[in-house]
């Protein structure tokens, strides 16, 4: 009897190797069933801390805890077979320094089975990125509009409009790549800046509201499927309107229940004749 054939999961080296070959496709996932739907179509799944806003109804990503990220990370690993799975480090779980980051990130890898982590920040995070990368924790960087700095930025504003900020974002991307990140998310920046960073970077730049010329793209799945309406970033394109579909389906169900035409199989719930 031959052993069952297990399809191989994408690795961080596979993602790196795609730079200059073809665009990298990625989406967020927070649950096992959604991971199952997305898995055949994407190179990597990110368990983003955006789940704080999208699933938990928080106003920002700041209240998300490491335990929440671990529970959802494990679910996404269980629901997927082929895609690389990366888990976001939540606010407060890594900013103190490399040792704290290693403690948090090693819990993520051990308890979820994910293949790496993402953390936000530029030059100031470079020592942490190299500490993790050198100790077996692949890091996806995140520069530009970094949502965990919402209080510093004063909102979710496009970054890199002025020369000084554009220069800083370029330095951030370079520092994180030099420190060993295998890829970098570049969020909410002006198009020419994103293009320049992508051209110069030795590692793939994954854009979100940045430029179609990045090495790949990521979106929050619930945004692109019309499942989250509280906050719609400018870059979001709706590929479906599942929120509306849910409304229609549930409305139909409610009408059938009220009209006593549901469940539709005659006598299913009739009391037994004695």
Select 7 or 56, whichever has its Cβ closest to ligand KIV.
Answer: 56
Round to whole Å and give the CA distance between 34 and 224.
13
Smallest separation, CB 261 to ligand KIV (Å): 42
φ and ψ at 121, to 5 degrees?
130, 160
Q: Give the relative orientation of helices 66-79 and 98-112 as an angle to the nearest 10 degrees.
A: 40
Smallest separation, CB 220 to ligand KIV (Å): 5
Select 208 or 265, whichever has its Cβ closest to ligand KIV.
Answer: 208
**Using CB atoms, what's the residue nearest to ligand KIV?**
48
Instruction: Check: CB of residue 138 under 8 Å from CB of residue 180.
Output: no
Degrees, nearest 5: CA angle 70-118-216: 125
Concerning whether 123 is annotated as a catalytic residue, the answer is no
Smallest separation, CB 138 to ligand KIV (Å): 16
Smallest separation, CB 52 to ligand KIV (Å): 8
| H or E element that contains 247 | helix 242-258
Nearest to 122, CA basis, from 188, 170, 192: 170
Select 49 or 172, whichever has its Cβ closest to ligand KIV.
Answer: 49
Q: Footprint of ligand KIV on this chain (CB under 6 A)?
A: 28, 46, 48-50, 88, 142, 185, 208, 218, 220
Q: How far is CA 269 from each of CA 8, 12, 89, 260, 263, rounded to the nearest angstrom?
A: 47, 54, 49, 12, 9
Select 191 or 262, whichever has its Cβ closest to ligand KIV.
Answer: 191
The one catalytic residue in 59, 111, 187, 196 is 187
Smallest separation, CB 38 to ligand KIV (Å): 13
Select 38 or 218, whichever has its Cβ closest to ligand KIV.
Answer: 218
Q: How far is CA 23 from each of CA 9, 142, 176, 208, 268, rounded to the nearest angstrom?
A: 18, 18, 21, 13, 53
Other CB atoms within a 10 A radius of the CB of residue 128 amount to 25
Instruction: List the catalytic residues.
Output: 187
């Amino acid at each position: 009897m031959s052993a069952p054939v297990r399809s191989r999961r994408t690795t961080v080296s596979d993602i790196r190797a795609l730079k200059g070959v073809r665009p990298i496709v990625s989406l967020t996932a927070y649950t096992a069933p959604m991971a199952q739907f997305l898995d055949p179509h994407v190179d990597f799944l990110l368990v983003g801390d955006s789940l704080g806003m999208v699933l938990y109804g928080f106003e920002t990503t700041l209240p998300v805890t490491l335990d929440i990220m671990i529970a959802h990370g494990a679910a996404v690993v269980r629901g997927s077979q082929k895609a690389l799975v990366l888990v976001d480090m939540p606010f407060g779980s890594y900013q103190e320094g490399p040792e704290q980051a290693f403690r948090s990130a090693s819990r993520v890898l051990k308890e979820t089975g994910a293949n790496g982590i993402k953390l936000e920040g530029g030059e100031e995070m470079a020592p942490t990125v190299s500490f993790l990368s050198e100790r077996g924790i692949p890091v996806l960087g995140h520069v530009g509009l970094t949502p965990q700095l919402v209080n510093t930025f004063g909102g979710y504003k496009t970054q890199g409009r002025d020369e000084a900020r554009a220069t800083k974002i370029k330095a951030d991307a370079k520092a994180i790549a030099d420190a060993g990140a295998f890829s970098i998310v570049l969020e909410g920046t002006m198009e020419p800046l994103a293009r320049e960073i992508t051209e110069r970077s030795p590692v793939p730049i994954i854009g979100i509201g940045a430029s179609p010329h990045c090495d790949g793209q990521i979106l929050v799945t619930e945004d692109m499927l019309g499942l989250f309406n509280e906050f719609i970033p400018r870059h979001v394109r709706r590929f479906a309107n599942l929120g509306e579909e849910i409304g229609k389906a549930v409305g139909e169900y409610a009408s059938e229940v009220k009209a006593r035409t549901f469940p539709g199989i005659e006598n299913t719930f009739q009391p037994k004749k004695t």
